[in-house]
Structure 1
Amino acid sequence: MKKLFSKILILCLLFSMNLFASGPQGPDVFFTTKPWTYWWWPGSAVNEKGITFQLEAYAKAGFGGLHIIPIYGAKGFEKEFLPYLSPAWEKQFLFVLKEAKRLHLGIDMTLGTGWPFGGPQVSTKEAAKSFKIETISLAKGDKIPVISPQTAKQPDSKIISISIYDGSTFHKELYSEKEPTHYLTYSIKEEKPIIYVVYETFTQQKVKRAAPGGEGLVLDHFSKDAFNHYKKAFEPILKAANGNLRAIYSDSYEVYGANWTEHFWDIFQKENGYDLRTQLPVLVKEKVENEAENQIWADYHRTLGKLVKEEFTLSFNDFAHHSGVKSRDQAHGSPGNLIDLYASVDIPESEFFGSKPYPIPGYRIDPDYDSTTFGIPDIKIIKLASSPAHFLGKKLVTSETATWLGNHFKVSLAQVKPIVDEVFLGGVNHLFYHGATYSPPEVKWPGWLFYASTNFNYNSHFWGMLPELNAYIDRCQTKLQNSKSDSEVLLYFPIEDIWHAENGKGKIHTLDLHAKSKIWMKNTRFGYWADLFQNNGYQADYVSDELLKQIKLGPNRTFISPAGQSYKILFLPAVDYLSLETLERVSLWVKQGYPIYFLEHWPQNHNTFNWSNELEARWQDAVEHLKLKVIHDPRDVMQRHGVVRETNLSENNLTYFRKKTANGSLYFISNLSANVQDSEINLGKIRGGYRIFYPLTQKEIFGQISTKQKFLSLRLEPGESVFIENYSAKTGKKLELTNPYWRQEVVLEPNVEIDFMKGEPNLPQKLSFLNPEFWTVDSTTQYFSGTGKYTLKFKLDSLALKQSKFIQFTDIRDWAKVRLNGKELGNVWAIPFKLEVPANLLKEENVLELEVGNVSANRIRYLDQQKVLWKNFHEINFVNIRYESFDASKWPVEPAGFAGKINLSNR
């Protein structure tokens, strides 16, 4: 009886666990399908009242979590600043964790303040370092002069090498820390003596945007010892978090000028097999002159890359695990192979920075955004983070999203949604807004703000409509997180080509995502081929030398990743430089019959200076097996190896990301083009029953692919996105394939009325126009930010009443709640501004009400014209999108309201 009772009890417990599996299950479960946001703490001037108020607001608005980053504070509030990691700061931090748990919100934190890592615990010994070289030309028989950092005008430096050369030939190392003046005894016998003095110096970089108590030198990211000391300051707070913190975070690598670390001579020799001090003339040249010099520089860059991975990133990851949390990291900007760095953490994070000129009709970009300096966001950059996640089976890929999408107070949700879709297309499934600032409720609008737009906190002009975007993201990420990538192609990322490019004095290859990305990604042959694959309907993951080592050869000559991902083919695109290890690996696979192809040419050069005849013989032997594997058009070989090409999508300018589920295949498809796509398409992996799901409207359409019906009908307007998946259920709406498209423009009756419902700085009087107009054409409304209700009337004939199923608007600035004949239809906030009309709602005579909300550009223009002091922060204070002092007083009036057309359609 006891055994029976125990079994029943266990079954009940299992049932209850399964029943509530989708809800919160304690500190280990967080709502990752909902969007999260950066949460800046100015001056860490937070208190329990403000924390509760804001966390409740974020939870109600549909956020899944927040990421704490303390920064510089607001002037006049210094008494409320909490020194970073002080007992008072810790008390508020733990209160955040308690409140977040109550509200089912997750919390991440930066391991420091501002960025990059650094602070008061970082001594000069542990700070970011660089090397500098001084040359002293002498004559035979001269005496070596006294050398010191002071005489060389390097007062904060120390000597780490004094080498004597005869011309360009190394003769002897003269410096010893044990006998620092012994070099003075050396008798010069060289014909062309040149002394090379190498100084280890400090970059003197301080933490950017540091919070009170977090100021200090930036950490040496090439030293594990430095990190191990740095992390000790965080051990108590992470222990006190008691499992209620989700992850610790490392921001993008912005350690300027760092190119050295202690013991680098020994590290370099161990890695490369020769002493770098024997090659100092190469390091002082403005530009390399031959291949050997280029290879020396590449050895140097490769060593830095290995250090940033092994000494910093892996140490950061280990510390996270030891502390019971996840590691989340932005690798971009680092002088290493970004794929390997992203592969080294739990949650790799990319970044979507700046404006992108989508050709979507009605999509606006900020003309003040400087793409020459900051670059244009690129899906290939995102895939450097998502590819290793797919390959290794990491569940989450994140993206810092909407940073500097437009100038302050100007960004609408219609501008945000396409970039959200594009990061999803790049493989992201856990989006972070950039971001939201802690701002006390008692501080008047616009409150406390961080200078790097876009603002997603409760003072944002689109706050009331933000739950709509949050719900859209939740629906998308629910599908994206419960599926696996279905890439069939591996595309090798040629890091050695980057390390061999444009070398010379002071060169560091930091792979940032701004203007420099043109050099190392967009304008390269890799960039060309990556774009060609995507634009021709092929889905590829990018792979590094390190990831290639982890491949297992699978059945049917496939490549199997550690996560069980099966790839059908490997391409090396126009690779100039390759390691012998990788060359021999792929050569062996070719001999075994596995599908590996070199695009344009096989590797032309080995990648290292330390070379021998024996190594050259091995290189030539490996190359010999690859010469027949050079191709110039990969489409034929991909077809031969069964790689699925989504021709119908690429030909219709539709961008997709294909994944796998328990039911089969899942496609996320976006129309980011200028044209409506309305056609019958064939998807490479959709067979049998399927479901089309529109995540914005939640509309579902079910259908069946068969021998009689080989295509599915898809209509996507510019800006729309859709999921299509294998689906066995037979119920649901069937698509009316024979229904021809019908559309009619609504002819409005004259006399459009606008009633202003709420807003600032004051409520304008009622307006009337003959036709729809932006309310800002009236001089009395040009400072207003808020809600204005448009009342419009129109009549329909019998044909329109029969056909009309959707209503669509053009040129709404910037969103609207729509009511038709007294019934709410919904909200329009993303392009296309389109809503479904319930049956029988339209009449012969109709009344349409649009409650239109606008961005706050005109309101902030008013404050600046009135010289209201709101830009009152320490450090950088507040800058515009061009990093100039922010001043909206001379801005032109931003159009607001509705001045477009209204169309009715049947689909």
Structure 2
Amino acid sequence: MKKQLALSLLLSAALPPLAARAQAPAWPAISQQNRPWTRWWWEGSAVNPQDLTHLMTQYQQAGLGGMEITAIYGVKGAESQFIDFLSPKWMDMLTHTLTEGKRLNLGVDVAQASGWPFGGPWVTPADACKYVTYQTYTVKGGAQLADKVSFTQKPIATAIGHRVDIKELADPVATNKNMQALALEQVRFEKPLPLQALMAYPATGAAIDLTSKVDANGKLNWTAPAGTWTLYAIFQGWHGKQVERAGPGGEGDVIDHLSKTATEHYLQRFDQAFKGRDVKGVRAFFNDSYEVDDAQGEANWTPLMFSEFQRRRGYDLRQHLPGLFAKASADENARVLTDYRETISELLLENYTQAWATWAHGYGVKIRNQAHGSPANILDLYAATDIPETEGENLTRIKFASSAAHVTGKPLTSAETATWENDHFLSTLSDVKKAVDRMLLGGVNHIFYHGTAYSPQAAAWPGWLFYAAVEFNPQNPFWQDFGQLNRYAAHCQSFMQAGQPANDVLLYLPQYDAYQRPGNKALLQHFDGIEHGFKGLPIEATSELLLKQGYGYDFISDKQVQQVQASGSGLRTSGGAQYRTVLVPAARTMPLPTWQHLVQLAQAGATIVVQGALPTDVPGLGNLASRQAAFKKLVAQLQFKPVAGGQRATVGKGAFLLGDDVQQLLTQAGVQRETLVDNGLQCERRRTAGGHTYFLANWSDKAVTAWVPLATAAKSAALYDPMSEQLGQAALRQSAGGRAEVYVQLAPGASCLIDTKEAAAPASAAYAYQRSAGAPQPVAGPWAVRFVSGGPTLPAPLQVAQLDSWTKLAGEAGQKFAGTATYSTTFAMPTGSADGYLLDLGRVGQSARVQLNGQELGTLIGPAYQVYLPKNQLKASNTLAISVSNGMANRVADMDRQHQEWKLFYNVNMAAKLKENRGADGLFTAAQWSPVASGLLGPVTLTPTALGGPLPQ
């Protein structure tokens, strides 16, 4: 089937000794960890051992590597099967799952809340999330305050999908009956709030603490000295955020993430549940995002805030309450707000993330954490996590999690993948492949589909579903071909989980520039990639520029910068990753320790690149004058001289580079970009023993058939197609500029892996490049169409001369059909002397399995539906069978038009992503949809194809 390419294209003339040669190409063995995993929703935790085993067997057969159990809201009609979260019976189901997971080689993670964020009925008001509010009063000298020092919290009661009367709710909220039907989002009861501090501010000078002078009735027993005094009364409120999407036994208040006591009390409930149980089979505990503040107000306070602030920032926040609430000078406002936000960040890191990790490690279990959306430096939160997890569709956002993993030496970065790729039932396996590729390009190497709902065998189609998902469930017709996507992902991840990160640039995250920006009447700033928290700062454009121009980079925080060491002329992070430089993207403020460490790195031989201008100040208020003096002294020592693209200041063995042209500055720093992006390609690369691995994706609408330059040295390269499993020694040459170039052929939407070595390769089979050897020839049919599985009924068999959607060819039954049909035809041996033929199915709705003369040739999930037919498998007369599966959409749309009830869920009963798919009841509906094209749409062609031979120059 394959022909050897000319050795001049594959090898240099002189081979090194055998021990130094690269190995012949071979697919790595696929492990449980290489395979994609899925979020596994236990709706109502209404699970039983028989169905658990049945479903896990299906998941294993489809090529999944594991599941993350998340107990969520229940299904109406299944109430008698509900199991309270963490109850003995729930633990029995977990134990059974762990046992079966071991037998089936399926990993198991467990979300550490029923829904999200952490919270539940055992969370007391003392441990629930808090907020701060304040009142001001004015008192003139010689007078007393006539008003009571008090604040009554206004009531709030919101629920999902319906109105709720707070007068009908019991306090504490977790004591209410029928919590599944209530589906509460936020509850604040009307009540007086505890006073935290009462401070009196004169026109000038220090404030006076009057807290102890307020009696139980709110009366202030104090006569103001001369002058006019402004009093700030600080009150602590109950935020009222409820656990989202909680299942039975998991409903209740969200914890105070800033309190170590609250975190430890929360986890003690798990200690009780785990007592006497073997949970060693759990690989990781999981937190599904922060999301506390997607309710009214903010969870921006904790009872120990004043003492923690004093300890960490070195001054008393109570002396600067006007600055906290933006009532002082602009400079003081910014500095106090920065210090407050930094304190919040540290509390969230230490009292929640690290405390949780320490607890989990006591069980020998890792933590997976979605840190995005937190009011903190999320790079530091991710760094404290064993497996940082991200989500989304923006590469710069995705890179926050992978950056922390790369910098701190975490081998895995996971991702909630394909959450809302489209509205319900419309996403294809091709869509999901692009979502997987996006994650791989962002440095993710551990995919979690979003997701799979446990659905018992007795449930009527479409079974139990989740409100925001692609529905990776056996009842989805694309399950027939789901294994092909999983095998593809596993092949990719088997490479991308190996080796080390191979990025060149550490992109400094200007966290303090973001901290000091005032919010919209908010104390907190929530960080979620560049878009949320850093938008409008120079780093936004810089991070996008680096991606577009092919520079490999990772974000790095101040804490992480301060752990970087010089390594020759480069840098080594705490996790052992190697980089060429740090790039500071026009940061205005920078902590003194960070700047001091950058200077030290330069003195030891590193090159530090500063875009735009040097930082001009230190953030925060504490010990300000001495910090500013030390900072300015260091900056003044830099003596810049002109160089291409900017200026250079020699510092010890290294230097600072300063200027506006980032690309020229990076060139000065010895950083090469991957110019393959100019061909419309995108890549992520890893450093391996003696070489590099590239994941390469073509997201353009044109095929890429070209010599692709690499920014890393290589004398040999192996090429792997993770979809078709074709592999071989790649054609490689050295360009006139000295770069290694690899020849690749990628259809639109296709991807490949290139494994390069700095040593020459031994003689081995060459990659079988294909080239057209003639015009496409139609496979004209006629076609016999037989519907083989699916519903609601199987349409009658068809004989068609012209291919079209079965929604048109099979009448009313075809319009509502979701399932699989097999298309069969015969064709004669094509004429000519080609090595084989490229079978192109044209348009397919949605995935296809191809058989030639009874032999499986492959499963095609798109966007290109092509497979190579070797000539030696062809006969004088050939039978071609193509089994095509569509998705769930047409059958669901018919059910909605017929008003057949399938939306049976508590809490979020199938919300629509797009407003045009929202019915009069506010729920998702597909009733107005036109039938989605399904089946083999064609045209089907055979193109004579030659393998190997001379390649274009």
2:584 is equivalent to residue 572 of structure 1: yes
Q: Are 1:434 and 1:455, in contact at CA under 8 Å, matched by a contact in 2?
A: yes
Q: Are 1:283 and 1:504, in contact at CA under 8 Å, matched by a contact in 2?
A: no
Identify which of 401, 417, 431 aligns with 2:433.
417
2:425 is equivalent to residue 395 of structure 1: no
Change (3 A) 1:344 1:846: same
2:877 is equivalent to residue 836 of structure 1: no
2:262 is equivalent to residue 234 of structure 1: no
The one-letter amino acid paired with 2:144 is K
* Residue of structure 2 in register with 1:676 after alignment: 703
2:810 is equivalent to residue 773 of structure 1: no
The one-letter amino acid paired with 1:747 is P
2:750 is equivalent to residue 720 of structure 1: yes
Change (3 A) 1:694 1:521: farther
Alignment of structure 1 residues 424-823 onto 2, 5 Å: 424-503=440-519, 505-512=521-528, 517-521=530-534, 523-555=536-568, 557-626=569-638, 628=640, 629-647=657-675, 649-703=676-730, 705=732, 711-726=741-756, 729-735=761-767, 741-742=772-773, 744-749=775-780, 751-778=782-809, 779-780=811-812, 781-792=814-825, 798-799=831-832, 802=834, 804-823=836-855
Q: Are 1:284 and 1:504, in contact at CA under 8 Å, matched by a contact in 2?
A: no
Identify which of 275, 282, 303 aligns with 1:245.
282
Change (3 A) 1:892 1:23: closer
* Residue of structure 2 in register with 1:194 after alignment: 230
Give unpaired runs (5+ residues) of structure 2.
1-27, 155-189, 641-656, 916-921, 948-953
> Which secondary structure does the structure 2 equivalent of 1:777 belong to?
helix
Structure with greater contact order relative to length (CA < 8 Å, sep ≥ 6) = 2
Distance 1:254 1:166 in 2: 40
Change (3 A) 1:589 1:54: same
Q: Are 1:809 and 1:900, in contact at CA under 8 Å, matched by a contact in 2?
A: yes
Per-residue CA distance 1:859-892 (angstroms, 9 max, x = gap): 0111122222221122222212248412222222
> Which secondary structure does the structure 2 equivalent of 1:578 belong to?
coil
Q: Are 1:400 and 1:434, in contact at CA under 8 Å, matched by a contact in 2?
A: yes
> Which secondary structure does the structure 1 equivalent of 2:834 belong to?
helix
Identify which of 195, 199, 203 aligns with 1:159.
195
The one-letter amino acid paired with 1:827 is T
> Which secondary structure does the structure 2 equivalent of 1:518 belong to?
coil
The one-letter amino acid paired with 2:934 is A
Change (3 A) 1:497 1:707: closer
Percent identity of equivalent pairs:
32
Distance 1:683 1:186 in 2: 75
Distance 1:523 1:787 in 2: 49
Per-residue CA distance 1:808-828 (angstroms, 9 max, x = gap): 233211011223455432221
Distance 2:209 2:762 in 1: 80
* Residue of structure 2 in register with 1:367 after alignment: none
Q: Are 1:149 and 1:155, in contact at CA under 8 Å, matched by a contact in 2?
A: no
Distance 1:602 1:900 in 2: 60
Change (3 A) 1:843 1:726: same
The one-letter amino acid paired with 1:610 is G
Change (3 A) 1:156 1:754: farther
Distance 1:317 1:743 in 2: 61
Give unpaired runs (5+ residues) of structure 1.
1-21, 25-29, 353-376
Change (3 A) 1:163 1:522: closer
Distance 1:540 1:135 in 2: 48
> Which secondary structure does the structure 2 equivalent of 1:605 belong to?
coil
* Residue of structure 2 in register with 1:357 after alignment: none
Q: Are 1:587 and 1:626, in contact at CA under 8 Å, matched by a contact in 2?
A: no
Distance 2:624 2:894 in 1: 72
Change (3 A) 1:795 1:168: farther
Q: Are 1:745 and 1:901, in contact at CA under 8 Å, matched by a contact in 2?
A: no
Q: Are 2:609 and 2:666, in contact at CA under 8 Å, matched by a contact in 1?
A: no
- 695-704 vs 411-420, greater mean Cα deviation: 695-704
2:290 is equivalent to residue 218 of structure 1: no
Per-residue CA distance 1:757-793 (angstroms, 9 max, x = gap): 2221112233455432112224422111112233456
Shift of residue 502 of structure 1? 3.3
The one-letter amino acid paired with 1:318 is T
Shift of residue 183 of structure 1? 6.2
Q: Are 1:156 and 1:202, in contact at CA under 8 Å, matched by a contact in 2?
A: no
Distance 2:734 2:252 in 1: 69
Per-residue CA distance 1:162-195 (angstroms, 9 max, x = gap): 2223468763221139965696221124544333
2:97 is equivalent to residue 96 of structure 1: yes
* Residue of structure 1 in register with 2:301 after alignment: 260
The one-letter amino acid paired with 1:261 is T
2:78 is equivalent to residue 77 of structure 1: yes
Distance 2:734 2:147 in 1: 89
Change (3 A) 1:594 1:788: same
Change (3 A) 1:523 1:422: farther
TM-score (norm 2): 0.85
The one-letter amino acid paired with 1:631 is G
> Which secondary structure does the structure 2 equivalent of 1:56 belong to?
helix
Q: Are 1:235 and 1:323, in contact at CA under 8 Å, matched by a contact in 2?
A: no
> Which secondary structure does the structure 2 equivalent of 1:687 belong to?
coil
Distance 2:152 2:889 in 1: 55
Shift of residue 506 of structure 1? 2.2
Distance 1:749 1:78 in 2: 55
Per-residue CA distance 1:627-655 (angstroms, 9 max, x = gap): 733122233343344333222x1211211
The one-letter amino acid paired with 2:440 is F
- 631-640 vs 728-737, greater mean Cα deviation: 728-737
**What is the root-mean-square deviation in Å for CA atoms of aligned residues?**
2.6
Per-residue CA distance 1:262-294 (angstroms, 9 max, x = gap): 121111122222222222233444x98623211
The one-letter amino acid paired with 1:714 is V
Q: Are 1:700 and 1:732, in contact at CA under 8 Å, matched by a contact in 2?
A: no
Distance 1:252 1:583 in 2: 32
Distance 1:583 1:888 in 2: 57
Change (3 A) 1:288 1:868: farther
Q: Are 1:749 and 1:793, in contact at CA under 8 Å, matched by a contact in 2?
A: no
Change (3 A) 1:708 1:207: closer
* Residue of structure 1 in register with 2:859 after alignment: 827
Distance 1:323 1:637 in 2: 48
Alignment of structure 1 residues 327-366 onto 2, 5 Å: 327-352=367-392
Change (3 A) 1:826 1:626: same
> Which secondary structure does the structure 2 equivalent of 1:744 belong to?
coil
Change (3 A) 1:266 1:63: same
2:175 is equivalent to residue 143 of structure 1: no
Distance 1:306 1:177 in 2: 32
Per-residue CA distance 1:465-520 (angstroms, 9 max, x = gap): 1111111111111111122111122111111121122336323111136xxx5243
Distance 1:322 1:554 in 2: 35
Q: Are 2:526 and 2:533, in contact at CA under 8 Å, matched by a contact in 1?
A: no
> Which secondary structure does the structure 2 equivalent of 1:802 belong to?
coil
Distance 2:213 2:444 in 1: 50
- 873-882 vs 472-481, greater mean Cα deviation: 873-882
Distance 2:508 2:50 in 1: 52
* Residue of structure 2 in register with 1:868 after alignment: 900
Q: Are 1:166 and 1:190, in contact at CA under 8 Å, matched by a contact in 2?
A: no
Distance 1:838 1:75 in 2: 54
Change (3 A) 1:87 1:182: closer
